[in-house]
């Protein structure tokens, strides 16, 4: 897994992140979702290296083997703004002042927050299987609550930790044949770590607090993503069922917008890596060398 990549721990001051890097050329950082670690990209990252990119895959703060700082009453320590700040510092330490960012699931919220908060740093943005948190909550109805009930359950104190940690494998599932054995082992170690589970829940709790507030503030100020933006969603997920025209939800946020569906389940980096990597490489190709 990740042949030719280097794995290391990088101290950013506020947190230390586990990071895997490889390749040469225009940099792109890949941000995983919940409850995965950076190893979810193990089939995609080498294809992007082959396409001519430096690829950086971190475990987000709170996830995998990265640091899990104490949370706060408002969970701002796990806000997407805090996580996005980590990535800016990480990439600068690696020598990249400007870079593309790709995020899936919870990582997509970090990715677009990064593009909004640090437009000078982000050359391209790709978000997979998401709409902005503020948009999702503004549209929340009975259908959303039935499909995405976990957002609200995870916000409750103590009960989700007890439910998940009672049997993490039953809660999260995961097929090693489908995921890849090494990726599955890394993910399974994470979900069996109580500190990781608590930190992942803090991420969700931040979503209903500081993350929503940041999105609502940006919309009120008509702040938009300045770089070219790609939105992709899985055909066997529920983006179209919930939102119909997914791009229409994103258009007020990102005027330079393109995208469409990928034939895949939710974890498209594992289910459809070749199609995903080819689509990303095509989107990233205009990056200056």
Residues with active-site annotation: 105, 266
Task: Evaluate whether 216 touches 101 at the Cβ level (below 8 Å).
Answer: no
Exposure string for 254-274, b = 16+ CB within 10 A, e = fewer: beebebebbebebbbbbbbbe
How far, in Å, CA of 83 to CA of 80, rounded? Answer: 5
Contact 99, 221 (CB under 8 A): no
SS3 state at 272: coil
Give the CA count within 13 Å in the CB-facing half-sphere of 259: 29
Half-sphere exposure at residue 248, Cβ-oriented, CA atoms within 13 angstroms = 6
> Cα-flanking dihedrals φ and ψ of residue 215, to 5°?
-65, -45
């Amino acid at each position: 897994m990740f042949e030719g990549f280097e794995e290391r721990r990088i101290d950013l001051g506020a947190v230390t992140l586990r990071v895997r890097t490889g390749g040469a050329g225009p940099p792109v950082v890949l941000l995983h979702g919940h409850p995965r670690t950076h190893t979810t990209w193990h089939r995609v990252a080498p294809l992007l290296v082959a396409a001519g990119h430096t690829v950086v895959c971190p475990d987000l703060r709170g996830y995998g083997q990265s640091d899990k700082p104490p949370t706060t009453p408002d969970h701002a320590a796990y806000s997407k703004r805090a996580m996005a700040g980590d990535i800016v510092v990480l990439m600068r330490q690696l020598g990249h002042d400007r870079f593309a960012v790709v995020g899936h699931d919870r990582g997509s919220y970090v990715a677009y927050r990064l593009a909004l908060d640090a437009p000078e740093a982000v050359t391209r943005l790709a978000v997979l299987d998401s709409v902005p948190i503020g948009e999702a909550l503004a549209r929340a109805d009975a259908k959303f609550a039935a499909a995405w009930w976990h957002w609200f359950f995870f916000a409750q104190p103590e009960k989700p930790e007890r439910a998940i940690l009672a049997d993490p494998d039953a809660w999260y599932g995961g097929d090693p044949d489908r995921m890849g054995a090494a990726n599955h082992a890394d993910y399974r170690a994470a979900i069996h770590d109580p500190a990781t589970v608590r930190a992942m829940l803090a991420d969700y709790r931040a979503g209903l607090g500081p993350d929503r507030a940041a999105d609502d503030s940006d919309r009120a100020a008509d702040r938009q993503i300045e770089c070219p933006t790609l939105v992709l969603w899985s055909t066997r997920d529920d983006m179209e069922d919930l939102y119909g025209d997914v791009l229409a939800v994103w258009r007020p946020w990102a005027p330079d917008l393109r995208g469409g569906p990928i034939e895949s389940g939710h974890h498209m980096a594992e289910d459809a890596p070749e199609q995903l990597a080819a689509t990303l490489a095509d989107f990233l190709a205009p990056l200056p060398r």
